Amino acid sequence: MSFTLSTPRKLLGLAVGMALSASPLLVQAQSDDEVKIGFIVKKPEQAWFINEQDAATQLGEEKGFEVVRLSGEDGQEVLSAIDNLHSQGAEGFVICPPDVRLGPAIMNRAEQYGMKVVTVDDRFVGGDGEPMEEVPHLGMSGYKIGEQVGNAIAEEMERRGWDPEEVAALRITNYELPTAKERTDGATAALLDSGFKEANIFDAPQQNTDTSSAFAAASPVFSKRSDFEHWVIYALNEESVLGGVRASEQYGLDPDQVIGVGINGSGAAFAEFSRETPTGFYGTVAVSSTMHGRQTADNLYQWITEGEKPPANTETTGKLMTRDNWEDVREELGL
């Protein structure tokens, strides 16, 4: 009788299985051979990344591999996390990097340890400024997601009967992050296609990607542009749009004077939609962070155990979630 096995790991698993009754030591060997992977995220406190890590962990429990959840909020913390994973015997990791330009340094450390790497959400960029095609990636199609945001804003403006000539747009930006630029560029293009005036779009550069940073960036813009009564707000994520909405409230704008549309579909949006009184946060383009976590973890696991390298780039899109449909969309996307 002969067997065709695709990996040495399968051969070991078969040998262990055939001899379990003969030696209790082999039971321990099988346990020790369990696959271990890391899942490193740049903002472990944000709902999006919590969902991703939770989903990866659940998949690991279902399929029999261990997921080590780690934080990597800057380059040094990422490298320390990789060292930590190596010391625990992990064979690879999924990562959303704090800075995409860290790609070469992260890959250098991973290759020293013979670890496989899959990126999620934000894609590594090489020294030439181009995406590192050799590293498998899964993330949103930033530009298409942005277009969905811009179209949603334009449609709501039309429904409210706003004259585009008299509406200002707050574009909360972080152009150091290519993903952010893709999303806001897509939203801008869709707005301009709908007849929005380019001169009425005002930038609010943010230092980070959270609500407080966006609030600080947005507040001066509202103060300087008091000639506009109606505003639309967009950014790279819903936390940043919420920062802009909070700034509009402080400035004195009513909810019916503001249309803010974010990206993600996380706890921040759910909390806003659950408020008794509507706010200027009109909606968000929801993407399944749960799917991102499960799929990238599964891709890495299959790569380790079967030798199947994941696709170079897998892009996802989203669905508009508003106060009226958020519970149905949440259930549909498994958020």
**Domain match, 107 and 223 both:** no
For the chain, the domain total comes to 2
CA–CA gap between residue 180 and residue 238 (Å, rounded): 12
Considering the domain architecture, whether residues 146 and 279 belong to the same structural domain is answered as yes
pLDDT attached to residue 334:
78
Give residue 246's pLDDT band: very low, low, confident or very high (50, 70, 90): very high
pLDDT over 60 at 2, yes or no: no
Is residue 331 in some structural domain?
no
Task: Let me know if residue 40 belongs to a domain.
Answer: yes
Domain membership of residue 277 (yes or no) is yes
**What would the mean pLDDT of 164-193 be, rounded to a whole number?**
93
Cβ–Cβ under 8 Å, residues 246 and 211: yes
Domain that holds residue 280: 142-286
Residues 152 and 279 in one domain: yes
Question: Residues 260, 296: one domain?
Answer: no
The b/e string for 43-79 (b: 16+ C-beta within 10 A; e otherwise) is beebbbbbbbbbbbbebbeeeebebbbbbbeeeeebb
> What is the tens place of the pLDDT at every residue in 259-300?
999 998 888 899 999 999 999 999 999 988 889 999 999 999
| Among the listed residues 210, 181, 9, 40, the one whose alpha carbon sits nearest the alpha carbon of residue 119 | 40
- What is the reported pTM? 0.68
Question: What is the pLDDT, as a whole number, of residue 185?
Answer: 96
Q: How confident is the model over 16-67, as pLDDT tens digits?
A: 343 333 344 333 333 457 899 999 999 999 888 998 999 999 999 999 999 9
Confidence class of residue 103 from pLDDT cuts 50, 70 and 90? very high
Segment 180-214, tens digit of pLDDT: 899 999 999 999 999 999 999 999 999 888 999 99
Residues 76 and 153 in one domain: no
| H or E element, residue 284 | strand 281-286
- Which pLDDT value is given to residue 132? 96
* Whether residue 204 sits in one domain with residue 69: no
Give domain status of residue 15, yes or no: no
The whole-number pLDDT of residue 39 equals: 98
Predicted confidence (pLDDT) at residue 5 exceeds the cutoff of 80:
no
pLDDT score of 335 more than 90: no
Q: Which helix (H) or strand (E) holds 116?
A: strand 116-120
In a shared domain, residues 85 and 153:
no
Beta carbons of 69 and 99 less than 8 angstroms apart: no
* Crossing angle of helices 103-112 and 75-87, rounded to 10°: 20
Q: Tell me the CATH number at 160.
A: 3.40.50.2300
Q: Mark whether 59 and 127 lie in a shared domain.
A: yes
Res. 248: pLDDT tops 90: yes
- Mean pLDDT computed over every residue of the chain: 89
Query: Does the pLDDT value for residue 247 go beyond 60?
Result: yes
Res 28: pLDDT:
36
Q: Residue 286 has which token pair?
A: 């929801």
The answer as to whether 214 is a domain residue is yes
Do 47 and 121 share a domain, yes or no? Answer: yes
Q: Are residues 129 and 189 in the same domain?
A: no
Mark whether 149 and 282 lie in a shared domain.
Answer: yes
pLDDT score for 207: 86
- Residue 4: inside a domain, yes or no? no
- Please indicate, yes or no, whether residues 244 and 298 belong to a single structural domain of this protein: no
Stated as kind and residue range, the H or E segment containing 151 is helix 142-160
The answer to whether residue 7 scores a pLDDT higher than 80 is no
Residue 17 in any domain: the answer is no
- Report the residue count for the chain: 335
Confidence grade of residue 243 (pLDDT, cut at 50, 70, 90): very high
* Distance, CA of 241 to CA of 180 (rounded, Å): 13
- Measured in degrees and rounded to the nearest 5, phi and psi for residue 308 equal -95, 100
Query: CA–CA distance from 252 to each of 204, 229, 230 (Å)?
Result: 18, 10, 12
Q: Is residue 31 part of a domain?
A: no
